[in-house]
Amino acid sequence: MKSVQWHDTHITILNQQALPHKTEYLELKNIKDVWDAIVTLKVRGAPAIGMTAAYGLALAAKSYETNDLAQFHAELKRDRDYLASSRPTAVNLFWALDRLMKSVAQAKSVNEAKTTLIHEAICIQVEDEDVCRRIGEHALSLFQDGDRIMTICNAGAIATARYGTALAPFHLAKEKGMTLHAYACETRPVLQGARLTAWELSQAGVDVTLITDNMAAQTMKAKHISAVIVGADRIAANGDTANKIGTFGLAILAKAFRIPFYVAAPLSTIDLQTKTGDDIPIEERAKEEVTHIGGVRIAPDVNVYNPAFDVTPHELITGIITEKGIIFGDYATKLPTLFEEVFA
């Protein structure tokens, strides 16, 4: 099941807002459709946002009428900035858009640039599948057959090209005939854990138990949870990690129960330009996400604080699992080394 797909005239996305009730694909025909789909969480999850935005920029560029390269670059920059304004926290969005911009910096003609953008966007998606599989392999090396592992939000196949990041070990364990039990926190307010992770893992035949977010401590104790694994939206240079709201609380609980707390993410989620978690912009979303469930009001019309993400301080993170391997502690020194080959 692909969350995002390029077709020459449009992009299709799996509508993640309709899940689990309906498996529905939407056609995005122009840049406004792409922006809306990202803002309204029809496509969500850091790598999937990046892939969709990349395809969105390639699609927009395809429609430019100019043959003048300078004019082409001006229009491209305008559309890059528009897509970049959709969501602030997941750095994969900016990473993917900037990768596309760089890919055409030396283009000799408008036609060449248009083709290059499509090619680069496709490469991002193809690479992400391989990256997620590697993350899954590394993550799996940390777990034993029969382990009970807690997660939050959806860092799964539908949030990436395939496999996911934090959910990759569950998918790979299934492929290899090993049993990992997933404990999925429902993830209020938007319920990515209940609607998406519970759906994705059960579809894949992975054993998954759903809990509400406030059941995490009791579940860790009663069910002997052996580890927590989460995805990430942005990892700062010192290892501080922004991920779905509720992640920070799980990290504190993991420390209290002396169980490991892992972050699984691709290099495209590591932002060495952002020094610490305090520098990560945290998206605040509409109050209706908190006051309503499924369109039904559950609270009076009072003030609401609705941060979509929180930042887990690096000292609470046992290890960061990337496609290049796992790093344990001293992130400020070790994170830059992951990029050395790329910059060589």
Catalytic residues: 233
Determine if the peptide bond prior to 307 is cis (ω within 30°). Answer: no
CA 102 to chain centre: 22
Q: First CA to last CA across the chain, in angstroms?
A: 36
Q: Cβ of 112: how many Cβ atoms within 10 Å? A: 13
Q: Which residue is nearest to ligand MRU (CB)?
A: 231
Q: Which is nearer to ligand MRU, 184 or 237 (CB)?
A: 184
Give the whole-angstrom CA distance, residue 249 versus residue 188: 13
Q: Which is nearer to ligand MRU, 113 or 193 (CB)?
A: 193
Give the whole-angstrom CA distance, residue 61 versus residue 75: 8
Q: Which is nearer to ligand MRU, 116 or 160 (CB)?
A: 160
Give the whole-angstrom CA distance, residue 111 versus residue 113: 5
Smallest separation, CB 337 to ligand MRU (Å): 23
**243 a known binding residue?**
yes
Token pair of 153 as six digits: 């939000």
- Strand 148-151 and strand 181-185: the pairing is parallel
Smallest separation, CB 152 to ligand MRU (Å): 7
Smallest separation, CB 163 to ligand MRU (Å): 10
Determine if the peptide bond prior to 20 is cis (ω within 30°). Answer: yes
Q: Which is nearer to ligand MRU, 75 or 260 (CB)?
A: 260
Smallest separation, CB 155 to ligand MRU (Å): 4
Query: Which residues are near ligand MRU by CB under 6 A?
Result: 44-47, 90, 153, 155, 159-160, 164-165, 192, 231-233, 243-244, 308
Token pair of 67 as six digits: 């043959």
**92 a known binding residue?**
no
What residues form the annotated binding site for substrate?
44-46, 87, 192, 243-244
What residues form the annotated binding site?
44-46, 87, 192, 243-244
